[in-house]
Structure 1
Amino acid sequence: MTVTDARPLALDDWFVRDLGGLYRPWQAAPSPAPELVALNDGLAAELGLDASALRSPEGVAVLAGAAVPAGATPVAMAYAGHQFGNYSPRLGDGRALLLGEITDNAGRHRDLHLKGSGRTPFARGGDGKAPLAPMLREYVIGEAMHALGIPTTRALSVVTTGEEVIRETVQPGAVLARVASSHLRVGTFQYAAATQDADLLRRLTDHAITRHHPEAAQAERPALALLEAVVEVQASLVAQWMAVGFVHGVMNTDNMTISGETIDYGPCAFLDAFDLATVFSSIDQGGRYAYGNQPRVAAWNLARFAESLLSLIGSEIGGDAERAVELASEVVSSFGERYTRHWSAALHAKLGLTGEHPQLVQDLLELMAGQHPDHTRFFRALSAAARGDAGPVRDLVIDREAVDAWVERWRAALAEQDRPVEESAAAMDRVNPVYVPRNHLVEAALAAAVAGDLDPFRRLVDVLAAPFEERPGLEEYARADPAATTPYVTYCGT
């Protein structure tokens, strides 16, 4: 099948050519009656694809996995991983297939990957299918993160298969077509290292460097430079999550990418009330992946990545294993400083501060931890406070005097800057969103979609595409659930 007018939907098989030993060739399960539910026209255009051709029966067949495009070699990728701290040596794509790579309009290589396309050799007893709601969740959250400027995988499409899938409820089966810079994960390196195949680990490292961090190829110690590059992009990514109140929910090492993109929107959610202990996932009973734990978990995951690279790092310094551990440990230990730098920069920007005000920022975080205001609304309301109206901020807390005292200090800092306060307030509005995927609205949109009404889903996606622009008539999209009486719980949908 080809897509005309823009160019053929022809895929490269770079991963397959380079990385034999890290996949199993496989075909998607049949889809009795594939039907397109959602197509990301903007992403299709970015990839140089013709959306109308993708909507054709032939296009839908490709997006469902029922037809293989030119140049594609569908494979289930192998990887290992620590899941909730427990090592699993063989995970892999249990219900997913990499079709191949597309070169987009900017010349970037992007994976085209199916999720929910049936059992593979890595299925571990599962049926390999996916329900409609979790696939639409991945679409919604990925597009919201993209609009927020946070590196992310994105959904190209969601197609129902004509089958039913039983999870918490009976739902239509669905296949997600996902686009990513790549699907290389920390778990991919763990798997390669565990094989004790030095050539495989070297090929994987070279592939990752070429694809994501080419500057590491020029370093004296490329494997160590790759580790440093991944530590840096992950420190930046997690700081961006924290800044918007995003809780990933399942930060296993197989869900940490080498590219620095967010991947896997299973039990994720966004904060309503600010609380470092917030956990949404039904399976995270111990709070390992709580909102406030995400930086610590990221550092732990990166230590596992470093362990996977130790043999290569050692070979780069003449086989000194002890020194290799020291060098890798130094890089992993730098995560704290790197994360703090990104987190501080994000908070200063959210507060409109151009200089360094660490105590003012820390005092605000402590105030929020005690008052639990709505995270998104609080930061957005601060721009009004900068302009002279502190009412919206005061309405979000119980201890108004404490907020008033902090606001007075903060306004004084803004007044001392070398730009007008209005410019600072406008800058704040460019980084503090009005709209994030409010959990109750996501659930309502997904429930309606499963019942056959896609209008709430489409409307939500449209609102989230412009998160920083306050628009009349969309007030309900900026509020927490007014009817919430119990904590919100998410499920991974597997």
Structure 2
Amino acid sequence: MTVHFPFQNTYAALPASFFARVAPTPVASPRLVKLNRPLAVHLGLDPELLASPEGTEILAGKRLPEGAEPIAMAYAGHQFGHFVPQLGDGRAILLGEVIDADGIRRDIQLKGSGPTPFSRRGDGRAALGPVLREYIVSEAMAALGIPTTRSLAAVVTGENVMRETMLPGAVLTRVASSHIRVGTFQFFAARGDTDGVRRLADHVIARHYPDAAGAKRPYHALLEGVIARQAQLVARWLLVGFIHGVMNTDNSSISGETIDYGPCAFMDHYDPAAVFSSIDEQGRYAYANQPRIALWNLTRLAECLLPLFSGEQEAATAEAQALLGEFPEKFTAAYQSGLRSKIGLFTRRDGDEALVQDLLDAMAQNHADFTLVFRRLADAARDPENDREVRQLFTEPTAFDEWTIRWRERIGGEPQSATERSAAMRAVNPAFIPRNHRIEAIIDAAVNRNDYAPFEELLTVLAKPFEDQPEFARYAEPPKPEQRVLQTFCGT
């Protein structure tokens, strides 16, 4: 029986300026490393057939499935603040779109499938390490309930790629609501192609923001929708200690999903200035800078849409600025609501923001682990005897002692029981995140020893981040000093 993808190809039906038609480059001897079987079923695909030799060849780009119209998407982008008018998919090829079990259109894309017209002298390939990193982190984000691209499969190609050294090559099959970025709009705007911007905007509205189509001013409604989703997304990143690492406009998804897991990282100890990305030398995309950068990226999107707002530049700019002005309030509302939930507050009262900020300040000053403080605080909410498990995370435990007096006074003013409060906190404060040292260990095992058991085990743990999983308790532990990962790398 042949592997069947029920492809639709709406993006490939757009004008030729939107993409380049290019097929994946065949590889030598692909081998399936991991297939996300539940996701395959959700996409209407047969996991048994996908895991077959024929399916593996499709997932590696060696064979094209029937109905595919492979394309590399064109886009531009600001990279660390510097505009590049043409980027595009340099090592990714969109095979087509399917409709999932929820009725949502999803892209199926091969990442690392060979050079395209946008490769800019690159080999178009991916090394195994970055493929495993993206698989782990994107699936962890999905389990945490954060909008994200997904990983359908990882395949080793049987070929090596040259980076700083020779490394095993691999291909990731990525699933997304779409791969349209702020940089996609910039590609057309930079060329003065207003018709291209309009066609793209209409496509995005139909695909991601259908309510905007019926609005009095649909392009205003589009920008407003993207702003709202980005505000929510970045707030949720901060609430789990996630640092994207490379928030260029070409890595900013119009759909509101987290996309492009390159030098990303989760914080261990809380530090608002935390930077892990080896290429972010100035800290532009540091943890606490992410809301500001999201607004900066959205401003670039608004600039692209100005010709669709009004023929009069001044009026269009004023209208865009008014919409962008809503971002800080939307972000702050989402972030502060999340923080209140993390410390077990069911209502909003004056002084709550200061209460949470004082905890964060104490955590920063005392190198307290971000994830563990909030997780153990859930146990302390159930029984004050568990305070000792939190206070030992602080270099000066008295900092927590002083804060917890105010916290207990605050939660004592709400009617919920200690058990209810603890359960609610455990539902939003994960026990497990993809810690950097764990990811590096599984990459080392796979690349250097061909051992994928640690990879499989970590995926098992991260699939249930809010459950205790006593048999995997070690995965909740922060790194020892000698295990700390200080830099993460892009992998291109």
When the two structures are superposed, what TM-score results if normalisation uses the length of structure 2? 0.97
| Separation of aligned partners in 2, 1:481 and 1:365 | 20
Q: Report the secondary structure of 1:24's partner residue.
A: strand
Distance 1:164 1:485, change over 3 A: closer
Q: Report the secondary structure of 2:16's partner residue.
A: coil
Does the CA-based 8 Å contact 1:72-1:100 persist in structure 2? yes
Moved more, 259-268 or 355-364: 355-364
Q: Which residue of 2 aligns with 1:430?
A: 427
Distance 1:59 1:485, change over 3 A: closer
Q: Which residue of 2 aligns with 1:363?
A: 358
Q: Which residue of 1 aligns with 2:193?
A: 197
Distance 1:486 1:64, change over 3 A: closer
The residue identity in structure 1 corresponding to 2:160 is: E
| Separation of aligned partners in 1, 2:286 and 2:194 | 36
* 1:383 aligns with one of 364, 370, 378: 378
| Separation of aligned partners in 2, 1:59 and 1:123 | 26
Q: Which residue of 1 aligns with 2:335?
A: 343
Does the CA-based 8 Å contact 2:91-2:124 persist in structure 1? yes
* 1:331 aligns with one of 320, 323, 333: 323
Q: Percent identity?
A: 53
1:245 paired with 2:237, answer no
Q: Which residue of 1 aligns with 2:450?
A: 452
Give 5+ residue unaligned stretches, structure 1. Answer: none
| Separation of aligned partners in 1, 2:72 and 2:244 | 24
The residue identity in structure 1 corresponding to 2:417 is: P
The residue identity in structure 2 corresponding to 1:373 is: A
The residue identity in structure 2 corresponding to 1:324 is: A
* TM-aligned CA deviation for residue 414 of structure 1: 1.2
* TM-aligned CA deviation for residue 419 of structure 1: 1.3
Task: Please list, as runs of the form range in 1=range in 2, the aligned pairs for 1:310-329 lying within 5 A after superposition.
Answer: 310-314=306-310, 319-329=311-321
Q: Report the secondary structure of 1:474's partner residue.
A: helix
Q: Which residue of 1 aligns with 2:438?
A: 441
* 2:257 aligns with one of 255, 261, 274: 261
* 2:51 aligns with one of 55, 71, 76: 55
Q: Which residue of 1 aligns with 2:413?
A: 416
* 2:228 aligns with one of 228, 232, 246: 232
| Separation of aligned partners in 2, 1:322 and 1:49 | 50
* TM-aligned CA deviation for residue 10 of structure 1: 2.5
1:153 paired with 2:149, answer yes
* TM-aligned CA deviation for residue 366 of structure 1: 2.1
| Separation of aligned partners in 2, 1:93 and 1:359 | 44
Q: Which residue of 1 aligns with 2:81?
A: 85
Does the CA-based 8 Å contact 2:437-2:483 persist in structure 1? no
Deviations 1:296-335 (A, max 9, x none): 1111111101111111111xxxx22101101101111211
Moved more, 266-275 or 359-368: 359-368
The residue identity in structure 2 corresponding to 1:349 is: S
* TM-aligned CA deviation for residue 217 of structure 1: 0.9
| Separation of aligned partners in 1, 2:346 and 2:164 | 49
* TM-aligned CA deviation for residue 49 of structure 1: 0.9
Moved more, 180-189 or 48-57: 48-57
Moved more, 350-359 or 372-381: 350-359
Deviations 1:443-469 (A, max 9, x none): 111111112111000000000000000
* TM-aligned CA deviation for residue 73 of structure 1: 0.7
1:124 paired with 2:120, answer yes
| Separation of aligned partners in 2, 1:144 and 1:200 | 36
* TM-aligned CA deviation for residue 483 of structure 1: 4.1
Q: Report the secondary structure of 1:53's partner residue.
A: helix
| Cα RMSD, aligned residues only | 1.2
* TM-aligned CA deviation for residue 402 of structure 1: 2.3
Does the CA-based 8 Å contact 2:269-2:364 persist in structure 1? no
The residue identity in structure 1 corresponding to 2:212 is: A
List, as ranges, runs of 4+ consecutive aligned residues in structure 1 with deviation greater than 3 Å: none
* TM-aligned CA deviation for residue 485 of structure 1: 6.6
| Separation of aligned partners in 1, 2:193 and 2:473 | 57
Does the CA-based 8 Å contact 1:243-1:343 persist in structure 2? yes
Q: Report the secondary structure of 1:346's partner residue.
A: helix
* 2:464 aligns with one of 466, 474, 481: 466
Q: Report the secondary structure of 2:280's partner residue.
A: coil
The residue identity in structure 1 corresponding to 2:47 is: A
Q: Report the secondary structure of 1:111's partner residue.
A: strand
Deviations 1:186-233 (A, max 9, x none): 000000212222221111001101111111111111111111100100
Moved more, 140-149 or 482-491: 482-491
The residue identity in structure 1 corresponding to 2:369 is: D
Does the CA-based 8 Å contact 2:436-2:485 persist in structure 1? no
Give 5+ residue unaligned stretches, structure 2. Answer: none
